[in-house]
Amino acid sequence: MPKKVPSKSLVVTSLFRDNAAYIPYYLKCCESLLNRLADYDFEFLFYTNNNTDNTTELLRSQGVLPSVRIVEDEYDEDHLTLHRTLRLAVYRERMLDMIRQSRASYVLMIDSDIMFNGNMVAEMIKTLETADASFVAPFSINKMGFYYDTYAHVEMDDEYMWLTERRPSMLWKRHVAIAGGKEPRQVKSAFSGFFLGRRDVLDHPTITYISGRSECEHLAFNQAINDMGRRIFLDPAVTPIQSDANAFQSHYRLVSSGRTNFRKNAMRLQTIKGVTLREIWVEARLLWGQSVKP
């Protein structure tokens, strides 16, 4: 007899490569998730490849998370020289294969450099149900408070948000228009590096990250969801922080407060550590529609 699926169950999936510095903070974020959704059954699926640090050892020795499965691959040099998005599409596709073996009711796909807390995920589950959505993405921000991944964002009228960065008069959508208000809004594509949804949707054989093109791998995945007639929503009230090794500690301190929205904090640069002068210069140039040279 098939195993009964718990009415409340969540499979959490993450990609790791040379992430040893982040793993302690990732585990703390996941602890917050376990505490907030204490009535859920959890699985954790980790995919890693070609590590040059002790990422795999740290994942295997962690004693915090229940029901952990780790898959590790080693790719040859030919693969590692492919365009970054082509490589990521392969890794995310491998993760899809792992997710399809789960029987959880919900799936949280989260990149391993995103700082989050359990309240964020609880809020996204509420949005998923009230909006009758298949997937919900938050308004992920970078460490300066700007919208993180415009490469993945496509509006319902097919406007590709990344292209607005070529048009200064539209560029403020990246930071202001999308973030305006707190109501979830339907989109055709959003960043699936922090993506909460109904796990059974991913069982459909047409769902894939593989397009054979060097475009953002999230676009093909989201298009396949749209082609099924499923709905994707962006929730601007939830703002996890895409971080890096220079800012892990200060960003974790922010999200450990349990708050779900950090745009106002992050826009005050003095509250976020690890921001370099070059990064501020690059963002300022982008805001004014000027080219950025290496």
DSSP collapsed to 3 states, 15-57 = EECCCCCCHHHHHHHHHHHHHHCCCCEEEEEEEEECCCCCHHH
Check the CA dihedral 173-175-178-179 and report its sign: negative
Tens digit of each residue's pLDDT (9 = 90 or more) over 222-266: 999 999 999 999 998 898 988 888 788 888 988 999 999 876 654
Q: Which residue has the higher pLDDT, 287 or 241?
A: 241
Q: Give the position of tokens 């990149």.
A: 111
Q: How many residues does the chain have?
A: 294
Q: What one-character-per-residue DSSP string does 207-238 give?
A: --S--SSSS-HHHHHHHHHHHTT--EEEETT-
Domain-embedded: residue 20: yes
Compare 247 and 28 and report the one with higher pLDDT: 28
Whole-angstrom Cα distance, residue 264 to residue 270? 12
Considering the entire predicted model, what is its pTM? Answer: 0.88
Q: Is residue 1 part of a domain?
A: no
Distance of alpha carbon 122 from alpha carbon 236, whole angstroms? 14
In a domain, 293, yes or no: no
Rounded to whole angstroms, what are the CA distances from 53 to 23, 46, 49, 64?
12, 16, 11, 21
**Dist CA 118 CA 137 (whole Å):** 15
Whether 153 maps to a domain, the answer reads yes
Residue bearing the bigger pLDDT, 110 or 167? 110
pLDDT tens per residue across span 108-134: 999 989 999 999 999 999 999 999 999
Number of domains composing the chain? 1
- Residue 162 has a pLDDT of 72
Q: Is residue 294 domain-resident?
A: no
pLDDT, residue 292, reads: 43
CATH number at residue 214: 3.90.550.10
- Domain range spanning residue 130? 9-287
Q: Do the domain assignments include residue 292?
A: no
Residue 116 counted as domain residue: yes
pLDDT digits (tens, 9 = 90+) for 64-86: 999 999 999 999 999 999 999 99
Do residues 146 and 175 make contact, with C-beta atoms less than 8 angstroms apart?
yes
DSSP state of 66: S
Residues 6+ apart with CB under 8 A from 262: 141, 145, 239, 241, 254, 255
- The pLDDT of residue 183 is 87
Residue that the structure tokens 């040859």 belong to: 76
Q: Compute the average pLDDT of residues 175-201.
A: 84
Decide if 143 is inside a domain. yes
Walk across the sheet containing 9-16 and list its strands. 68-73, 41-49, 9-16, 106-110, 194-198, 135-138, 232-235, 185-187
